[in-house]
Amino acid sequence: MQFEKKIEIAYADNKAVDALSDSTELSKKIIKQVMAKGAVWLKRGQKTQRIRRADKVLNAGDSLYIYYNSEVLDKQPDNAVLIADEGVYSIWYKPYGMLSQGSKWGDHCTINRWVEQNLQPQRPAFVVHRLDRAATGLIIIAHQKKTAAYFSSLFQSREIEKKYRALVWGNFPEYKMCDADIDDKPARSHVSLLKYDTANNQSLVEVSIETGRKHQIRKHLSVAGFPIVGDRLYGDSNALDDKDLCLTSCYLSFIPPLEAIKKNYTLPVEKLPANHWLINISR
């Protein structure tokens, strides 16, 4: 079931859960779950924000918005895994299906919401870069607004080194630089062959990127004639419905805030994808 509804609040002192219950066919129990998952919004004056508290007291003139999509609300990706807690920021392994950003339909599947609910001691969580929903791997979460701004400046000035691994179709060359523009903007990816699976005609490659365009690696490899296995959006005509996108972020390197020495973070061996992706590997 899916619907969205705007509810105008005529009288003060009404609770959000009561107003939603009176205006929808949902039970209060379901409404509380929907609110907890970030699918209810409150507009008060010029400000619109998610609200999660069922007992939130409303003012006359407020507007409530509920965005109900049972398919979205029922989704539950695997748990994120803490790699390093550095106080003002942390490094996490983002699993397949977990989002880097929520929508009006909810934010319970986002990495920042997971971190806010599970990291101890609890802290605010700010996403400073993104991984595709279908991709896995390392992601930085900031815990202060000034730390988030610091990392944003590092990304803009290309001072964060990022490496990815991908499984692609075909016998990839030893090295290839991909520089096709993306959305009319310059983009550059460096791709090196790690191993080739002769039986399946698939190559394990390592990718480093100089720019961070949307779907950059997926688009560059597709344009080069080596689409990523499982990438139904960019050219894997052999993709199976139950096959995840074979792309993972495996390495981050940068100078942390208030420090002078560069730190490196590598995906733990048990999270590296080669053993899951490839069976018969040869060079």
The number of CA neighbours under 13 Å toward the Cβ of 228 is 27
Q: Which of 62, 107, 132, 244 is catalytic?
A: 132
Q: Is 162 in contact with 217 (CB distance < 8 Å)?
A: no
179 is catalytic: no
Give, in order, the Cα–Cα distances in Å from 71 to each of 94, 112, 131, 205: 21, 21, 22, 35
Closest CA to 236 of 182, 173, 176, 167: 167
User: For residue 121, how many other CB atoms are within 10 A of its CB?
Assistant: 6
Q: Is the four-CA dihedral 237, 238, 239, 242 of positive or negative sign?
A: positive
d(CA 126, CA 121) in angstroms, rounded, equals: 15
User: Which element (helix H / strand E) includes 177?
Assistant: strand 175-178
For 130-215, where are the alpha helices, taking DSSP H only?
A: 145-156
d(CA 166, CA 163) in angstroms, rounded, equals: 10
- State the distance between the two ends of the chain, measured CA to CA, in whole angstroms: 50
d(CA 248, CA 131) in angstroms, rounded, equals: 9
Which of the 8 DSSP states describes residue 269?
A: G
Tell me phi and psi for residue 115, to 5 degrees: -65, -45
Tokens of 263: 């730190």
User: Which of the residues are catalytic?
Assistant: 132
